[in-house]
Structure formats: structure tokens, C-alpha cells
Structure 1
Amino acid sequence: MKIMRIAPVLALIFLVAGTRANAQEVSSSDGVEWDLSGRIQLQHTYNTDVEADASSTNNGFRIRRARLQTKVTLNSWVQAKIQIDVRDNKPRLKDAEGKLKLSKNVAFRFGQFKVPVWREELRSSSKLLLVERSAAAEFLVDELLSARHIGVELNGKLIKGLSFAVNYSNGAGEGGREDAGRSKSMSVNNGKMVSGRLNASLGKHFQVGVSGVSNSLGVNIDSLDNRGTISTLAADFGVYLPLGLDVEGGLALGRKSAELTGNADQSFVLADITGRWRHRFNKENTSLVDVVEFAAGVSYVEPNSDLANDESIHLRFGPAVYFGKHARFQVNGELAMPTAEGASSIFLVRSQFTLNL
């Protein structure tokens, strides 16, 4: 059984070993181009809210990500990508997509990939400003409003500097299979999800995006019928200055329908802003470290606007150093501050080594 679970990974490794190339890009005799890459992230977390005793620990290591990816260009019009994650000895399919270029400015995607919602979520985990994504981004993932889904998408450029994406998917999340005969549940076979995004590049240093998404959730079993919708409208921006300063942020306003909550419409508010300053040493620098940076961010999560003292504020901050172009070490302090009466703040120290292959 273990061999069957790692078979996809072994197949990709044998493919890499059997090609004659000195780089990650490989061209075969029939004109097909292969681009092979991967990522290893080792993370250590120390939780000050947990007391280490004989039965539990408050710190330790884990493989946060161990990914292997291959991109294939079959011709000028057809591309494909497969990405597998094998962390915790549990192989999982992350991306499996095909892309058909319909014209110079329009493409059609199908398979499993990230839906076009929230700038921070669309940023690769190999290039996050901080160790983890924000609490606002995590909320959208937990509510099945962002991250990976199975479906189809039309995307491209409307005019110079303005791109679009329209996605239609299961809305059941990563690996959320839906087909004829499968039982219905809270997120399976109870409707579909529609999402879209516009992103405008206003010069070289500023971008602004708007995303919208609506997902059908809930289930109808016997006397229980809580089928409804959850939706959000999000605006985000990115500022990328030549002095090594990057700032990204976003605001999302959302709603759960009364049918879904079983009571009344429920509104939520999410916000995040994160900045990073980077300094690159001159080319004559011969030390192991060639780039240093410091990043900090603050997030606000209000899960129900009708309830008092249920919101939380999250602070994250810390330095990072780069060892060449492919290796980075980050240390972040993370402070979660719930406003509920009697709730305590939680402070974590999260460290991570990243090696991009």
C-alpha cells in the first residue's frame, strides 16, 4: 500500500533521473518541453500557550511542504501542470490542470487549481511575505471560498494591464470529487461555485484587484434542509517599490444566507495588510547571506458582524535571510488576540527553512 501511495512521486523522480539535461528545463525529440521543479519547507513551531508535560509538547519540527511539480508545454497552444505534495507521508494531489490557449489573449483551464480569489492566496507558498498566510486568507479557505477547487476557468487579458478570470467549480475544495451517484453532503453535490477576478496593473509598481465568489453549501436530509449560499466580494492591492519595499493588502465583505445558518443572514469582514522590506548586498559580497529582509502584517477577522466581541486581531512579524536565489530562512512571531471576554492571547514562534528546487 505504501508503494502505491508514493508511486506518482517515484514516477516523476525517475523521469527527472532519466533525462539528459543540466537544468530544470528538458526538451524531448518531439518538441515537448518539460519544466521540473520542487520545494522543501521544514518548519519549527513553538506555542507559548501550550505547557510541555509528560503527555504533550509545545514545540517541534514538521515537513510543512515537500512538493514536486512538472509543467509540460506540448505546443504553442497546449500546456499542463501536475503538482504533488508528500508531507507527513501522505501524498496529495495539489495541482492537476490543462491549459488551452484559445487566442493571443484568452486561455481555458480545466482540472484542479486555485480559484481567482484573494491576492495573498494566489501568491505561491514559495514566495510568501511571511511564513504562513494571514488569518484572513485562512478564513476564506476554511469557508470554501478560495484556494484549490476542481472545475474550469476562462482567463486572459481584456486590454493592456487589465486581466480577468471567470471560474466554475465544484466548490467542495481540494480533491472535492462530485459526480453522478455520490451522496450529497455539506459541500458535495449541493450546487456549484462561481468566482471571478479583475486585476489591473497601474504601471510597474502598483496593482489592484477585485474578486467575487458565491458557493452553494448545505444539505437536505429528511427534515433537515440548510441549503444556502456563502459569498464574498474582496478588493486587494499590491505595491512593489524599487527600493525593496513590497506591501500587499485586502478587504473582504461576505455573507452567509439565512438558509445556510439556520437563523438569519450572517455577515463577515476580513482585512489584512502585510509589508516587507528587503536589502540585497552588492555583488562583491562573498558571505553566505546575500539578502536580508523584515516583514510584518496585521489581520482582522470578524466572523459574524451581528455578534459582539467575536472578532480577532492577528499580528505577525520577523526577519528572513536568503542563501542565494533558492534558499531562505524565516523567523516569525505570531500573536493572535481574540476580543471575546475571558479569551487569552496566543503567541507562537514559527521558523522555516525553504529550499526551492
Structure 2
Amino acid sequence: MLLMFLSLSGLAQEVSAPKSKSWDLTGRVQVQHLFDNDTESDAAKTNNGFRIRRGRFQISSHLNDNVSAKFQIEVRDNSPNLKDAEAKVKILKHHYLRFGQFKVPVWREELRSSGSLLLVERSAAAEFLADSYLSARHVGLEFGGKIGDNVNFAANYSNGAGEGGREDAGRTKGDVVNNGKMLSGRVNLAAGKALQFGVSGVMNSLGNQIGDVDNTGSVTVIAPDFGVYLPSGFDIEGGLALGSFSKDFLGSSEDISFQLFDVTARWKSKLKTPLQNLGGIDAFELAAGVSNVDPNTDLDNDEVMYFRFGPAVYFGKNARLQVNGEIDQPAADELDSALKVRSQLTINL
């Protein structure tokens, strides 16, 4: 299999506008190739191919010294989606109020930009939290800021219905719409420049009542995490999530607890001289991570381990080519392991 990519790079463009101090225009293009040996290639399906993983355009506006806004859209697979639409007001010098759609303050890996992930994709642990409406983007409001020089905090109140989750008068109720709200919060402590510790907590109200059938309940999680960032170019991030789905939501006799963890590390090294004959490659890195998803801690052999690893090369600060091997290893003996090879070119404009 031969993959050919062209590298491009760009910088954010700033333009003036009569009603704002400044506007920043940025974007991201990610082209991805995936080979999946767990899918048989036949007349009905293919097990490899390309896609536009992300095509994003963002406008950031600074209206004055205290008010800013951001608007980001994404087009992939010919389906446009709203990602960020937020207004931020600075108060009390080191604090802020934020309104709109944006990421809730949960899980260090989720808060990292998709253009600077340590591996091609976020971990299965991050995906589980997002799919359970416990992280990623929601519509709501947030209060946060700094306490001293080393502590950051955020408290968020949102719909809890996910990205684009509209909840207003006249909405039809469902398992995630108009059944309550989500509360989330995070505290992050920086112990110097090289070490950070954080902890996030979430409680979301889910379920619905239709006639005599009532499955309204809650999902909760607490998630400590850490980050190590050394001057040598070595970074490591990890997190543990302990949560539960209430028995009322699941319609079961007992609450069901879940456990997730992920640890990912990378080492990046700059070249002394860029390789101009190879697109100007000026740095390379190696990254690897291990994740575990146990959706029900009371059951044996239902968890899955995930191993991801691979190299990457940089074409300046704004372009990176990654190649990752991904192994999914279920604990159940009757299930086979699966191998994926995922390659991606990221261009941050």
C-alpha cells in the first residue's frame, strides 16, 4: 500500500473589522486513510480508503478588552456541522463567563485540540465519555478562571444533550432532550511548567417518561488526570474515569458502574536541518498509548484493551503526517483481536 501526501502550511490571518478590535481566521484540514483487517473486503464492503476526517473553518473575534467570541464550522462527508459558537466575557480580572456551544471541562485528552492530539485519534476512553453525553461539546454556560498562578477551574451548566442539542419550548422529549440538565466542573493544578494534575466531575440527567414508563435517571463520573511536559520533547498524559449509570435510567435492578483509563506518551525531536527534498521535514516523533474500557465492572471479560502506536513527521509547525497501528483486544475469549492502520495528514491553517 502506497500513500502519497502533499504538505502545506499556513498561519492564522488577522483582519480588522469596524465593530471589533480584531478577527482571527483559522482552519484545519485532515485527510485520513484507514485499513481495517476486521472488515472483509468484498463486493459489498471495502476495508480501506480515504476520507476527509476534518475540514474546519473558525472565526475568533475580540470585540474589546473584555468580550470575545468564536464561531467554528466543520464540513466532512459533505455534512456541515456547527462545532463552536460561543461568547466569552472577562470579569473580576482573572475570571470569565462563557455562553454558547463549546467543550465542557471534562477529560484532559478531550480538551486537547484535534490538531495537536498525541495520536491520530482520541482514545476509546474519551470516545466512551463523549458517547455517554459526559464530555465534548454541549450548549450551556460556564464560569471559570484562575486562583493564583497555578490553579485553573471551570464550572459548567449545560443542556447535556450533546453537540447541537437544542432544548427550548416545544421540543419533543427524548432520552437526552429536555429531561434535566448536566452539571460539570474541573480543577487543574500546575506544579511548575512540567507537571499538571486535574480532576473533572460530571452529573447528567438522562431518560424519559412516556405514560407509565419512566426511565429518567442520571449518569455520573469523576475523572482525575495528569500531564507531564518535559523540555526534552517527552510528553505523557493520562486519566482514569470512574462512573455509573443509575438503575432508573437503565431499567435494571442495580446501578451499573464503569471504569476507563488511558495513558499516552510521545517523544518529539527537531532535526538540525530540514529535509528540503522530502517536503521540508524538520521534526519527527514517536507516540504510543494504552486504553481500557470496562463498561460494567460487575461483569467479567466484557472489557477491551486498546493499544495504539506509531511515528509522525512534521513539515514546519503547521503540518504533520502520522501513521498509527491500532490493536483492539477484547477480554472475552470468543472475540478476536482487530488491527487497524490509520494514517493522517493534518494541516493547521
Aligned to 1:140, the other structure's residue is in SS state helix
User: Percent sequence identity over matched residues?
Assistant: 60
Q: Is 2:116 aligned against 1:116?
A: no
Give the counterpart of 2:30 among 41, 55, 60. Answer: 41
Paired residue type of 2:338: I
Paired residue type of 1:96: A
CA distance in 1, matches of 2:242, 2:99: 28
CA distance in 2, matches of 1:31, 1:64: 32
CA distance in 2, matches of 1:346, 1:223: 43
How many pairs were matched up?
336
CA RMSD of aligned residues (A): 1.2
Aligned to 2:153, the other structure's residue is in SS state strand
Deviations 1:80-100 (A, max 9, x none): 000000111111000000000
Give the counterpart of 1:323 among 300, 315, 338. Answer: 315
Deviations 1:138-189 (A, max 9, x none): 0000100000000000010012110000000000000000011211100000
Give the counterpart of 1:167 among 126, 131, 156. Answer: 156
CA distance in 1, matches of 2:192, 2:231: 13
Aligned to 1:86, the other structure's residue is in SS state strand
CA distance in 2, matches of 1:302, 1:40: 33
Paired residue type of 1:67: R
Paired residue type of 1:279: S
Aligned to 1:333, the other structure's residue is in SS state strand
Normalising by structure 2, what TM-score?
Answer: 0.94
- Structure ranking higher in strand proportion: 2
Q: For 1:181-220, list aligned pairs within 5 A.
A: 181-220=170-209
Question: What is residue 50 of structure 1 aligned with on the other side?
Answer: 39
Q: Is 2:265 aligned against 1:272?
A: no
Deviations 1:251-273 (A, max 9, x none): 01001111111111110000000
Give the counterpart of 2:271 among 281, 288, 291. Answer: 281
Q: For 1:244-283, list aligned pairs within 5 A.
A: 244-263=233-252, 264-282=254-272
CA distance in 2, matches of 1:134, 1:34: 33
Asked whether the 8 Å contact 2:274–2:282 carries over to 1, the reply is no
Aligned to 1:281, the other structure's residue is in SS state strand
> Larger RCO: Structure 1 or Structure 2 (Cα < 8 Å, ≥ 6 residues apart)?
2
Question: What is residue 13 of structure 1 aligned with on the other side?
Answer: none
CA distance in 2, matches of 1:29, 1:188: 39
Paired residue type of 2:304: S
Ranges in structure 1 where 5+ consecutive residues have no aligned partner: 1-21
Q: Is 2:144 aligned against 1:152?
A: no
Q: For 1:341-352, list aligned pairs within 5 A.
A: 341-352=333-344
CA distance in 1, matches of 2:323, 2:210: 47
Q: For 1:234-245, list aligned pairs within 5 A.
A: 234-245=223-234
CA distance in 2, matches of 1:267, 1:316: 26
Asked whether the 8 Å contact 2:35–2:341 carries over to 1, the reply is yes
Aligned to 1:305, the other structure's residue is in SS state coil
Question: What is residue 309 of structure 1 aligned with on the other side?
Answer: 301
Deviations 1:281-309 (A, max 9, x none): 12576552101000000001110011111
Paired residue type of 2:265: G
How far the C-alpha of 1:37 sits from its partner, in A, is: 0.2
Q: Is 2:284 aligned against 1:292?
A: yes
CA distance in 1, matches of 2:20, 2:97: 22
Paired residue type of 1:265: D
CA distance in 1, matches of 2:273, 2:90: 40
Asked whether the 8 Å contact 2:31–2:344 carries over to 1, the reply is yes
Ranges in structure 2 where 5+ consecutive residues have no aligned partner: 1-10
CA distance in 1, matches of 2:12, 2:163: 31
Paired residue type of 2:170: G
Aligned CA distance change for structure 1 residues 223 and 268 (closer, same or farther; 3 Å): same
How far the C-alpha of 1:29 sits from its partner, in A, is: 4.8
Paired residue type of 1:308: D
Aligned CA distance change for structure 1 residues 28 and 180 (closer, same or farther; 3 Å): closer
Normalising by structure 1, what TM-score?
Answer: 0.92
